[in-house]
Copies of this chain bind each other. A is one copy, B any other.
């Protein structure tokens, strides 16, 4: 079977390839490990420390210690040696690797006569279409995220507004940091972990990736962007809600309504066969028609200057995106829908749901109210 060697894929986890590793063989390593995936078999080399866990988690995969390959018993730095030895044994002379495959291992393989082809798109393009089981795993993470939004919104709702304009809850300042604690505790209780939870207020909310810091304040938008990874399954969820404590300004209300409308339109347009870039274009048009300009002001982008969405799975950002690329959505894609508007003087507004593309349209994986003003 010629296919064995031409179809071989090589993955080094601990290199950005971790999600590929998990997808291909179910194993989530602590230290770097190596997977050779031929058309017929999966071979996994792991440090001796990982071998017990690997044999348990990597079902249907042949697991080797370096010693079994005739290499030193333990040496964390020998992935290149493992790769050369494993491919020699398996008589594989051509492998496909991901763009992010480590250069050091690549050079060692090339010196030993192996030919490396970088996968033109993804190394595991099949990851794009999620199975029922994968969609349910994402839904579980997404429901945890929605529960965390509700906990955070409850804190903001229960807070009172001090004379200074700062929010206080149980006599202490309600800050971005404190809200993040509430969010992350809720996620933990759902066996999920988040690394970069956003709870950003005012000017910080106008910067889409600012995590937020300091006291939350009256009449400033508060962006809650929560993207947990489930610890057992490894699948991510991603949700964003924006609220304001006390009265919103007229401009904030207009921003909110425009984003809410654009988001609902985009969700309604999602179905198999639709071009993602056209959905993105419509979102841009809707926001522009509502009077919101996208431009660079003093070196800072304002308006709507990111994509409408991205796919999600074992990575938080996967292909395809709902953005500039003219790709068609298919049943089984799981994408975020997250238009936003950002102006430093007025804050930021972003509304995001994660949906599965089905024959009947977008299935929202966790519902969560779209409340804006909390009085």
Report A's interface with B, CB cutoff 8 A.
14-16, 30-32, 48-53, 56, 67, 72-76, 80, 97-107, 116, 118, 181, 184-185, 188-189, 193, 195-196, 207-211, 231, 296, 300-301, 305-307, 316-317, 321, 323-324
Contacts and interface: CB of A to CB of B under 8 A. Distances in A.
A105 B102 CA distance: 10
11 contacts: A14-B100, A15-B15, A15-B16, A16-B16, A30-B316, A74-B324, A100-B104, A101-B103, A106-B106, A184-B188, A185-B185
Contact of A307 (B14, B74, B306): B74
A305 B116 CA distance: 34
A98 B129 CA distance: 33
A80 to B, nearest CB: 8
A116 B102 contact: no
B76 A324 contact: no
B102 A99 contact: yes
A114 B176 CA distance: 44
B189 A181 contact: yes
Nearest to A196: B30
A326 B134 CA distance: 47
Given A105-B99, A118-B107, A188-B181, A300 B15 contact: no
A301 to B, nearest CB: 5
Contact of A30 (B72, B74, B209): B209
Given A15-B102, A101-B103, 13 more contacts: A30-B196, A30-B316, A51-B301, A52-B210, A53-B210, A74-B324, A76-B317, A80-B99, A99-B102, A101-B104, A184-B188, A184-B193, A188-B188
A265 to B, nearest CB: 21
Contacts of A207: 52-53
Nearest to A294: B73
A296 B51 CA distance: 12
A210 B53 CA distance: 6
Among A51, A67, A102, A207, max chain B CB count under 10 A is at: A102
A102 B188 contact: no
A15 B323 contact: no
A196 B29 CA distance: 10
- For the complex of A and B, the 10 pairs showing the least CB-CB separation, nearest first, are A99-B104, A52-B207, A100-B102, A101-B103, A15-B16, A103-B106, A15-B100, A53-B209, A49-B208, A49-B209
A102 B101 contact: yes
A73 B49 CA distance: 45
Contacts of A189: 181
B209 A52 contact: yes
A195 to B, nearest CB: 7
Contacts of A106: 103, 106
Contacts of A67: 296
A97 B104 CA distance: 9
